[in-house]
Chain A
Amino acid sequence: MSNIGSYEERVKNFNWKISEDELSYNAGDVINIGWYCSDRICQMGKADKLAMIWEGLGGKEKKYTFDDVRIKSNVIAQFLRDLGIKNEDRVCLFMDKIPELYFGCLGILKIGAIAQPLFSAFGDESLHVRLENAETNTIITQKKHVSKVRKILEKMPYLKHIVVVDDDGRKPLRERELAFNMDEAEDVNQFEIFPTKAESPSILHYTSGTTGQPKGVKHVHYSLISQYLTTKWVLDLQENDIYWCTADPGWVTGTSYGIIGPWSLGITQCVLDTGFGADSWYRFIEKNKISMWYSAPTAIRSLMKAGDEVVEKYDLSSLRHLASVGEPLNAEAVIWSEKVFGLPFYDTYWQTETGSMMICNFPGMKVKPGSMGKTVPGVTGGIVDPETFEEITEPNKGGLIAFRPGWPAMMRSYWNNEETYQSKFKNGWYIPGDKSTIDGDGYFWFMGRDDDIINTGGHLVSPFEVESALLEHESIAESAVVAKPDMVNMEVVKAFVTLNAGFKPTEELELEIMNFIRKRLSPLAMPQEIEYLEKLPKTRSGKIMRRLLRAQEWGEEIGDTSTLEDD
């Protein structure tokens, strides 16, 4: 029996109080995610239950109980408090998927500070813009990533501490750097947790926008209410499940459903801190007897590409429920997973700003391969006209996805960017920026983005950010960046550039530019292809017409070109 039971009944009788009651929360109470994910679980008698099975490079394994999670997060919290970090200070987590990242997140929340997780593959420029916007007080990182912080240190007077969790003393630490070893630190059994309330800020995730710099999406501790319930009802996590969320906590899935959801339910989860490999992933599932697996379409398509014969080498019979997030899950992937695992992947739709799942395929509900599913109980969603923002009720007619604000995990603002935050609300709806249809049965069907943002492997990349970074390369005069279709990642970054005098359009230069962006921004933002042009298509007013270049890549009609400048 699934946790949700009848979807229709849940929708009919829904109230967020269901979640509040299960978490013993009453309006006005203290609510601290760090406490809910560790201390409370211990108080419920699960102190000795495994909370995390972690595996790193070379098969190195570590296991932690919920009592370990409680103590380790206390240790980090105490360390940060002793450094003088106060509630609402921003503390960045810039690490691979090591245990310190997970316990560090809870430790930060326990002192009432704001956790700012950033993807460890970010280059120095991507790191800088995000730390600068948040005026981050402290960054917790590994020695392998410290060099990126050092490169930008002079530009960040607000950054007071650089905490290195794996310093081995072989190289001297520099200005503002200090070593902290979680495993060698003395246990902190009792810790006075900061009394955060529902609207106290918790996590700051950065997401890309079409124009301007990345936006800091501010979440609050009350987000727990919807993260807890959706984990229970959509991911269907049950007491004896072994759960694996493949997402990195540098992205919202990795915190909402890679830390908060499972641990607030007291569920054992696995973390694999290595790269992708079909064999290594299947072996990890087999070895740990994973029963619930939450992954992404890019990974699923990569597994499809690796072939069915790889699947057959492993005993994956422990799997009982699969779900996916990040980009639309194509029907072929759903059908393939039913064939090889005997289970479909259930697609879930949400985004950094929504903080928790919004449109999903629920256990027990008929899955229509290729569909996003139906709205989560408690969420009012629909399709609206892109001009008037009036709801479209006619089935199968395309429009913008829209949600009525009010679910607990909804972002509370963009950091230092209230104007952009307000622009996301139209006619009483929150507009996430995606297009869809709804069929006669109430299922949503994804159509695409309503802007130029590139969704590559489930991660959003801003064309503006890549274009700006490209212009910093000495050879490039002008740049335009668009999405290019890709079988595995759905979309990848493609750049069109014109060169400054004295530079030749060679393959060597293309490689140099690719690596330049990879290191400056991130591997995700690196153009997978660069096309040299004599000139970029522009309007008569000089604006680059990205849509023409995009249409060319997607084989679409180029549409109205009346504003295109003359040759």
Chain B
Amino acid sequence: MEEMKDVILEYVTNEYLEEDDDEISYDTPLISGGIVDSFSMASLKRFLEVKYKISIPDDKATPEAFDSVDKIVELVKEYVS
């Protein structure tokens, strides 16, 4: 699962961080930290669904479940067969 962590971290870094933002780690707060806003969560969710060929129910895609790379990995693992 280390690889999944790194893939998601890299995606978030490339897609959501501004040029001069500090680097993030696996446990950096993404939503409550203001790095990924609640509207952008839809694109992050779609990325996970496309990348891992899963479907995450909307009621599971909460700001809390998306609040760090670690938490996202936990969520994705529930749906990856």
Q: Does B18 contact A (CB under 8 A)?
A: yes
- Cα A305 to Cα B63 with chains together (Å): 10
Known: A508-B50, A523-B37. A274 touches B32 (CB 8 A): yes
- Cα A456 to Cα B34 with chains together (Å): 18
Interface residues of A in 506-533 (CB under 8 A from B): 507-508, 510-511, 514-515, 518, 523-524, 526, 528-529
Q: Does A147 contact B (CB under 8 A)?
A: yes
CB of B44, distance to nearest CB on chain A (Å): 10
CB-nearest residue of chain B to A486: B58
Check B39 against A524 for contact (C-beta < 8 Å): yes
Check A275 against B38 for contact (C-beta < 8 Å): yes
Q: Does A57 contact B (CB under 8 A)?
A: yes
Known: A57-B34, A144-B18, A278-B64. A507 touches B50 (CB 8 A): yes
Q: Does A187 contact B (CB under 8 A)?
A: no
Q: 1/0 per position for B12-36, CB-CB distance to A under 8 A?
A: 0001001111000000011111111
Known: A276-B63, A277-B64, A280-B32. A511 touches B47 (CB 8 A): yes
CB of B21, distance to nearest CB on chain A (Å): 6
Check A526 against B40 for contact (C-beta < 8 Å): yes
Check B42 against A144 for contact (C-beta < 8 Å): no
Known: A144-B18, A147-B19, A305-B62. A514 touches B32 (CB 8 A): no
Check A96 against B49 for contact (C-beta < 8 Å): no
Check B46 against A306 for contact (C-beta < 8 Å): no
CB neighbours of B38 from chain A (8 A): 275-276, 302, 457, 488
CB neighbours of A528 from chain B (8 A): 39, 42
Label chain B's interface by main secondary structure: loop
**Which one of B29, B30, B31, B43 lies within 8 Å of A514 (CB-CB)?**
B43
Q: Does A311 contact B (CB under 8 A)?
A: no
- Cα A528 to Cα B67 with chains together (Å): 19
CB of B53, distance to nearest CB on chain A (Å): 9
**Which one of A306, A457, A511 lies within 8 Å of B50 (CB-CB)?**
A511
**Which one of B29, B30, B46 lies within 8 Å of A507 (CB-CB)?**
B46
CB of B73, distance to nearest CB on chain A (Å): 19
What count of chain B residues pass the 8 Å CB interface test? 27
Check A302 against B34 for contact (C-beta < 8 Å): no
Check A276 against B64 for contact (C-beta < 8 Å): no
Q: Does A286 contact B (CB under 8 A)?
A: no
Q: Does A121 contact B (CB under 8 A)?
A: yes
CB neighbours of B29 from chain A (8 A): 274-275, 277
Q: Does A197 contact B (CB under 8 A)?
A: no
Check B18 against A145 for contact (C-beta < 8 Å): yes
CB of A458, distance to nearest CB on chain B (Å): 12
Report A's interface with B, CB cutoff 8 A. 57, 96, 121, 142-147, 171, 273-280, 302, 305-306, 456-457, 488-489, 492, 507-508, 510-511, 514-515, 518, 523-524, 526, 528-529
Extra inter-chain contacts (7) besides given A96-B34, A523-B37, CB under 8 Å: A57-B33, A277-B29, A306-B62, A456-B39, A457-B39, A510-B46, A511-B46
Report B's interface with A, CB cutoff 8 A. 15, 18-21, 29-40, 42-43, 46-47, 49-50, 62-64, 67
Which 3 pairs across A and B sit closest by C-beta, in order of nearness? A277-B32, A275-B34, A523-B39
A-B contact pairs, 9 of them (CB 8 A): A143-B19, A274-B29, A275-B30, A276-B32, A276-B63, A489-B39, A511-B46, A523-B37, A529-B42
